[in-house]
Structure 1
């Protein structure tokens, strides 16, 4: 089975390959094709993968190419993990937004809109190529903003594109762990959009254990989200929000923390990964060790500004292990081998949430089998969550419209309608600022 990874020179690719190395069953991936526009990055990542596979006799073959069509031909699965504009683009997203006093995070608020506007046209081109060159392939989308990009691609690939994110999985795992339950045996009642969802129940053996957590202040305050949001707020919500909702619930504090930080997250990662790729130009560098040391620093500093704002302290060691690659491999195995499972995924709504249309991509538990991912029926969201989900989905639709039409006025509308952008004039200046620093937005007129 052939797996093509778009963005194959990306820093997190070894996580995916490491998971593949643990699969020795029939029907496993035997050939991995890495595609990237940067041959130097491809070379660096290929070296890491070679060291990972050194002691694995049946390791999947790895090849690399800068030719997209060559990479896609004959693929059974395509992992899309691209970053249009690179980490320099992410740093610019943050800088331009913070100068206007609004959030520049890569998936939330102004930064997410800017990232989406330059990513959607590229993702749509990829979707069209997949439809032409590998029409039987399944696309698993890692590219952020994951829900928005998945929806853009679904207009050309239908249900054969599925978006993934490790945030809901990590949240469910933390809740189960603090309740003394096995995460593999728990049913997580989670619903929303990507980076905008809530756990409303955690069922073990038919019993919802979340009320027990919400009723115990000490237990509730003992894990990441309890520290991040505060016990009182979680009890008021009656649910556990995805960590990215901290940007909404504590927006003023988050913006202030980012403005005061020595470096934004994007600038930090840009410099960190530049050091990694520079070091990898040394043929004698221990590739796997250099990568692993860099990854550990990256994970430990994740959402550091938010945790500092909340006084949450350092991340627990158990939360430093990532997880999105495990979700991707579980999804791929379920489809390829009909190994039925349940995963929280980004898929088309169909009739799951009545407040959204059938084609809107949402993030919910799905039953997965050889025919793909099937969203599970969920209870309606409470009013406060419905309002936020509908508002952000409306923004996503304006981004898709602007990307399709090239309309600068529609791009301004997307920014202006976002709950975290507080002025139409700010929205206009954001579009001007982003157009100046991003060549990929030159299509907006």
Structure 2
């Protein structure tokens, strides 16, 4: 199989290649093409991949190119892992939001809207080109905000674009560990949107183990989400939320912690990655691995500080998340190895209140025909309301990015649950337009 990675100079690309190196089965990926607009970053990643491949006789061949048509033509699978505006854009997303006293995380709240407004136009262009140049390729979207971007690409690619995220997998693994069961032996009743979902049941042997976890104080507070949300809140809502819901349930504390930090997450990553990309000539893999561990250690540090959750567990610092999901997804489609994965796909009405084309994050059956959402119990109560509100915002971002309407972009900011004032929304949009040249396409028309 031939795999193309758009954003091939991205820091997490070696995770994907390392997973490919461990796959020696029939139908494995034999050729990897890296595409990036920054040849220096791509060359640095290529050196890491070469170091990983040393001593592996059947390592997938790697080529690099800045030519998009060359990169995607003939590909069986295309990973979209672009970052429009780079980490500098992410730092602006965070800083502008925090200056207005609202959450600025890259996929949540004002920061997520700004990121979506500059990413969706590019993602739609890429999808249109892929549909023309590689109509038989499957596109696996890593680009954040993952659900929104997947939905923006789907008019051109249909069900051949699938979004993935490692958050549900990590949550399921941690909860299974707290219950003392094998993660591979349980069925996860999980539903929502990307970075806005809830684990509602953990099924094994015909019974739900989640109530048992809720009764065990020590087990409930032994893993990341238990520490982030606290046992009392988890029992109150009766589910285990995706870690990103900390920004919704504890928004004020999250903003205070982010403001108190020396740097925003984007600024931290800029420093980490500048050191890496500038020093990959002598020991490329060692340099990358040290930076990866530093990156994982500081992941969601502001949320953990706000919750008093302490340092991340050592088990959470190891890789094996989204790259494993991607590999399982590719093998299921290419070889008809039927499996079930939590993915971002068009929901076909499985969550009830959303339209059929809305992309949701739910368990999916995957085989040679692609991914199909499993029928799940509808979301209820505050979860249903929150998902409906955020999906409406996502639709506004996609509409603004498609039509250039500034008023629709303003509505996206003003109606997001984490932006508490239309006047704040107006100031946010003005500041983002002033600092992000990618938003120059917005106009005053309705």
Distance 2:66 2:437 in 1: 21
Task: Tell me how far 1:271 sits from its aligned partner.
Answer: 1.2
Match of 1:318 in 2: 315
Task: Tell me how far 1:295 sits from its aligned partner.
Answer: 0.2
2:412 to 411, 414, 435: 414
Match of 2:292 in 1: 295
Task: Tell me how far 1:351 sits from its aligned partner.
Answer: 2.4
Q: How does 1:371-390 map to 2 (within 5 A)?
A: 371-390=369-388
Match of 1:427 in 2: 425
2:302 to 298, 302, 305: 305
Task: Tell me how far 1:217 sits from its aligned partner.
Answer: 1.4
Match of 1:354 in 2: 352
Count of aligned residue pairs for this structure pair: 442
Task: Tell me how far 1:385 sits from its aligned partner.
Answer: 0.2
Q: Which moved more, 1:390-399 or 1:428-437?
A: 428-437
Task: Tell me how far 1:345 sits from its aligned partner.
Answer: 0.2
Match of 2:122 in 1: 122
Match of 1:19 in 2: 19
Distance 1:194 1:99 in 2: 26
TM-score (norm 1): 0.99
SS in 2 for 1:279: coil
Match of 2:77 in 1: 77
Q: How does 1:205-220 map to 2 (within 5 A)?
A: 205-220=205-220
Task: Tell me how far 1:72 sits from its aligned partner.
Answer: 0.7
Task: Tell me how far 1:368 sits from its aligned partner.
Answer: 0.3
Match of 1:340 in 2: 338
Q: How does 1:215-234 map to 2 (within 5 A)?
A: 215-234=215-234
Q: CA RMSD in A?
A: 0.6
Match of 1:270 in 2: 270
Match of 1:41 in 2: 41
Does residue 103 of structure 1 match 2:103?
A: yes
Q: What do residues 341-389 of structure 1 show as CA deviations (whole Å, max 9, x unaligned)?
A: 0000000010211100100000000010000001001111121100000
Distance 2:155 2:390 in 1: 19
SS in 1 for 2:139: strand
SS in 2 for 1:116: helix
TM-score (norm 2): 0.98
The gaps in structure 1 that reach 5 residues or longer are none
The gaps in structure 2 that reach 5 residues or longer are none
Match of 1:191 in 2: 191
Distance 2:178 2:219 in 1: 7
Distance 1:343 1:86 in 2: 29
